[in-house]
Amino acid sequence: MIRIMVTVVTCIATLLLTLPYLAKGGVILMTLVDSYLYIVPIYILGILQFITVGWIYGMGRLVRDIEMMTGTPPPIVIKFIWCFILPPVFLIFQVISFVNYTPPSFYAMDSRDPLSSVGPRNGVVHSAGSTGTSSRVCIAGTCPFLSVFVTPATRMGTC
């Protein structure tokens, strides 16, 4: 009973959290969330993971765990890279991403050029309606493929 309640509460909470994406400004909200909540913390989480695994958990324990699972220990070069090379590299990438940061731009197209809104610009992809068309093309191209190459017993209700 508790499992069902947790599932119901999780589904309802997720539904309520995603409803703003269906509104008129949903694409803008999606771009903002993608810009700020994915790109910035990915390097910080990588640095924390390398420090936690390599220094707090310990490289010796990690090597023993990998050897227990695979039968062979990782090379010494890999251990050196995990502990000493990758954390500073990720830190450099984080600094570079802060230096090269440009805020997301919306509606940054030239009205005289109809193709100016297609493609990446300032880290934001302006689709100009091509997303819906491409997904319909994929569905329209997949259904004939399934109807020809899938056996009749497994084809029931695919298209």
pLDDT tens string 28-54: 888 888 877 776 688 888 889 989 988
Pick the more confident residue, 3 or 30: 3
pTM score:
0.51
Asked if pLDDT for residue 15 goes beyond 90, the answer is yes
Pick the more confident residue, 65 or 108: 65
Tell me the average pLDDT of the chain.
74
Question: Which tokens is 59 given?
Answer: 């490289």
Query: Is the Cβ–Cβ distance between 82 and 100 less than 8 Å?
Result: no
Asked if pLDDT for residue 90 goes beyond 50, the answer is yes
| Planar angle of CA 84, 86, 104, nearest 5 degrees | 145
Total count of residues recorded for the chain = 159
pLDDT of residue 122: 41
Structural element, H or E, at residue 4:
helix 2-18
